[in-house]
Amino acid sequence: MAEICKSESIEREIVAGFKCDYCAKECKADLYEDLPSGWHLFETDGFDYDHVCSIDCYILALRKGIECVKVLNNEAYANVDGFNLAFAQRLFYCLNKL
């Protein structure tokens, strides 16, 4: 049986860097890391993901996540970066006191 060969080029998207969703700081990607050291992927209720590069940006993301959950009226089952709403609100309060 003879083989039929076909040549194809395949394009794929690679991550070249990251940009903070709050302060717009940019950082080149490292092929061996998911995120740069010190960065965090903030998740709100499993549908909104933000890159944050610092504690100050984390606090902004936390405030946005809390507000988002309240607007959606999903407070009983809310998940703000892995925390239930009450814990996230207390964490936000404590971080703002620093």
Residue 65, in any domain of the structure: yes
Q: Is residue 62 part of a domain?
A: yes
**Range(s) of the domain holding residue 21:** 17-97
CB 51 within 8 A of CB 18: yes
Tell me the average confidence (pLDDT) per consecutive run of 10 residues in the chain, 98 residues long.
74 85 92 84 87 96 91 78 93 91
The verdict on pTM exceeding 0.85 is no
Tokens 């993901």 map to which residue?
49
Q: Is residue 58 a contact partner of residue 92, using CB atoms and an 8 Å limit?
A: no
Tell me the one-letter amino acid at 14: I
**Does any domain span residue 1?**
no
61 is written with which tokens?
């993301």
Within-domain flag for 5:
no
Residue 78, pLDDT score: 82
Full DSSP string of 39-70: -EEEEETTTEEEEE-SHHHHHHHHHHHHHHHH
User: How many structural domains are present in the chain?
Assistant: 1
What values do phi and psi take at 83, rounded to 5?
Answer: -110, 150
Quote the pLDDT of residue 1.
56
